[in-house]
């Protein structure tokens, strides 16, 4: 079950964290993985780790917010593999702040990656999926797309847009055999979290990490591998009856 043999999967932001975990798991399930990241070295590390494990991966560098770069990257994937069966729109950036603490530049920066990036990559992948008779798109949203989170004004705005784009693509392409869903994680413990905490809370790292863990009623942050497992299910043929849905993976945050 959940085997992706014969599938070509593009994972954006796959240089680290959740994207790297998804790329690695999909490769273990026999997908041919296209590792896409704005950081060519990070993409290379993920791709090499997959190849070292005896699986198939090729890396591509490109900024998902740049239409020309996205076009070139997806054209290269199609030329190398002949098709794209799965697109995981994982690339994203964060911002902490209320509306008063969010500058116009902050808003534009998050819009470019978190919203425009999903738009550009989906637009690049869908025509080929239509021609080949189907495909799967999975977007990384957030519980911030479902509930309001303190000091996440810009981030929540962009993830709300991701959820809405998910539903729009699902409705528009359901008759073309293209499924589109999103996952909505709570806090996930990734290198990004560790770097943010060490940068902004020097000397208080353990205390802040405990606070971040305690936010989830289950008592800890999620792992990138747990998100990857849900992504695998939603991108597999076993989930062929699921489209247009937002799946929380939140440690109980949304229980009440």
CATH label of the domain that carries residue 93? 3.40.50.720
Claim to verify: residue 203 and residue 90 sit in the same structural domain: no
pLDDT of res. 196: 86
Q: 119-145 burial, b for 16+ CB within 10 Å, e for fewer? A: bbbbebbbebbeeeeebbbbbbbbbbb
Claim to verify: residue 84 and residue 139 sit in the same structural domain: yes
Q: How many domains does the chain have?
A: 2
Claim to verify: residue 28 and residue 94 sit in the same structural domain: yes
Which domain does 214 fall in, by range? 189-220
Q: How many Cα atoms occupy the beta-carbon half-sphere of 54 within 13 Å?
A: 2
What is the Cα–Cα distance from 228 to 250, expressed in whole angstroms? 14
Say if 70 falls within a structural domain.
yes
Tokens read off for 198: 């060490």
- Among residues 60, 119, 155, 173, the one annotated as catalytic is 155
Known active-site residue 155: yes
Claim to verify: residue 214 and residue 238 sit in the same structural domain: no
Claim to verify: residue 102 and residue 208 sit in the same structural domain: no
Torsion from C-alpha of 126, 131, 132, 138, nearest 10 degrees: 10
E strand or H helix at 9, and its extent?
strand 8-12
Claim to verify: residue 80 and residue 154 sit in the same structural domain: yes
- Which pLDDT tens digits describe the chain residue by residue (256 residues)? 999 999 999 999 999 999 999 999 999 999 999 999 999 999 999 999 999 999 999 999 999 999 999 999 999 999 999 999 999 999 999 999 999 999 999 999 999 999 999 999 999 999 999 999 999 999 999 999 999 999 999 999 999 999 999 999 999 999 999 999 999 999 999 988 999 899 889 999 999 999 999 999 999 999 999 999 999 999 999 999 999 999 999 999 999 7
What is the Cα–Cα distance from 183 to 201, expressed in whole angstroms? 29
Claim to verify: residue 92 and residue 104 sit in the same structural domain: yes
Say if 253 falls within a structural domain.
no
Claim to verify: residue 68 and residue 195 sit in the same structural domain: no
- Ramachandran area for residue 178 (φ above 0: left; ψ -120 to 50: alpha; else beta): beta
Claim to verify: residue 213 and residue 125 sit in the same structural domain: no
Claim to verify: residue 55 and residue 153 sit in the same structural domain: yes
Say if 255 falls within a structural domain.
no
Claim to verify: residue 127 and residue 98 sit in the same structural domain: yes
Say if 81 falls within a structural domain.
yes
- Residue 134: name the closest of 240, 226, 205 by CA: 240
pLDDT of res. 128: 98
- Ramachandran area for residue 86 (φ above 0: left; ψ -120 to 50: alpha; else beta): beta
């Amino acid at each position: 079950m959940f085997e992706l043999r014969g599938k070509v999967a593009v994972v954006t932001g796959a240089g680290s964290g959740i994207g790297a975990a998804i790329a690695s798991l999909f490769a273990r399930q026999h997908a041919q993985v296209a590792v896409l990241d704005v950081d060519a070295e990070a993409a290379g590390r993920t791709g090499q780790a997959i190849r070292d494990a005896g699986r198939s991966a090729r890396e591509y560098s490109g900024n998902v917010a740049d239409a020309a770069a996205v076009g070139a990257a997806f054209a290269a994937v199609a030329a190398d593999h002949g098709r794209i069966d799965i697109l995981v729109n994982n690339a994203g950036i964060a911002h902490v702040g209320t509306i008063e603490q969010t500058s116009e530049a902050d808003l534009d920066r998050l819009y470019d990656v978190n919203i425009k990036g999903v738009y550009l990559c989906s637009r690049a992948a869908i025509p080929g999926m239509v021609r080949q008779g189907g495909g799967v798109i999975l977007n990384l949203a957030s519980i911030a797309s479902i509930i309001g989170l303190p000091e996440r004004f810009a981030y929540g705005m962009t993830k709300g847009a991701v959820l809405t784009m998910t539903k729009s693509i699902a409705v528009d392409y359901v008759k073309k055999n293209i499924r589109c869903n999103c996952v909505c994680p709570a806090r996930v413990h990734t290198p990004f979290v560790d770097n943010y905490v060490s940068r902004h809370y020097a000397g208080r790292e353990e205390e802040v990490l405990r606070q971040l863990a305690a936010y989830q009623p289950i008592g800890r942050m999620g792992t990138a591998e747990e998100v990857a497992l849900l992504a695998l299910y939603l991108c597999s043929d076993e989930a062929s009856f699921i489209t247009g849905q937002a799946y929380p993976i939140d440690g109980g945050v949304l229980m009440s």
